[in-house]
Amino acid sequence: MNYHDRKRVLVTGGAGFLGSHLIDRLLAEGAEVLCVDNLFTGNKRNLDHLINHPRFEFMRHDVCLPLFVEVDQIFNLACPASPVHYQYDPVQTTKTSVHGAINMLGLAKRLKCKILQASTSEVYGDPEIHPQVESYWGNVNPIGIRSCYDEGKRCAETLFFDYHRQHKIEIKVARIFNTYGPRMHPADGRVVSNFIMQALRNEDITIFGNGSQTRSFCYYEDLIDGFLRLMNTGPDFTGPVNLGNPGEFTIKELAELVIDMTGSSSKLTFNDLPSDDPTQRKPDISLAESELDWQPKVALKAGLQKTIEYFEQFVREQDDTGS
């Protein structure tokens, strides 16, 4: 692309797991990318390979504060996404979702540019219908320990649609189901990273509940492809749209698969299920299939193999440095 055709794209939360992979794809497609992250859960390690890239810029900034930049598109991914991190400072988590949405929508309003919100399957809470469709309003506890994230994301969706109706902002809302892959935070408390790290160290694998609760695991490459397809839709399609892999596995099945693939001697241990932890998760992706021509391609075992290789390298580096 020549300079005048090149898109300038803002990615908030760009030093995180999904944000950094999204930036890689955007740069590969010729865009200029501004990454904004306060590094609460993001890590510069995820961006080391881009430090000298001529079309990449990093800005340390908290989206709870206004931002004044000039861009053509905004991907709003800023928010802690794992229970360990979003429950560490629940007030700040809610602020990040709500104030962050207000600030990014205000920027999109001023620039008259398209903006995508990374929402979550957690807006469905502990669902009473299965699989979950976008028209389902959810079953969410508004005062529980997960509410800072669940209700924060629900409020962010409200703001996106009100800005769309009131100010004619072109919005896109993606509801992300469990996504995994290289660059996940090794201590984020999510089952894929937890199980792999415990297995590689031959530690007991901790399962909360009896392991019968289900999740659907989407490899990051498929998710990023869904993001880009959604952003490239016309102004009449706003979403929300589910992005996730409809393949459903119990937590116990995942743990056993990780042990098998790592050759670990780990044993399974069972603890009490945390408050408001959903018992089942499975996206209905009919809308994504029809509107985005999208469906995930990477099978769980293939994605896990690449993720395990990433964490093996991480563990080796930790052992070498003694950290």
Question: Catalytic amino acids?
Answer: 149
Closest alpha carbon to 196 in 134, 266, 137: 266
On whether the CB atoms of residues 128 and 280 are closer than 8 A, the answer is no
On whether the CB atoms of residues 100 and 38 are closer than 8 A, the answer is no
Beta bridge partners of 176: 120, 243
Alpha-carbon span 214 to 217, nearest angstrom:
10
Alpha-carbon span 263 to 158, nearest angstrom:
46
Amino acid identity at 17: F
Alpha-carbon span 185 to 134, nearest angstrom:
28
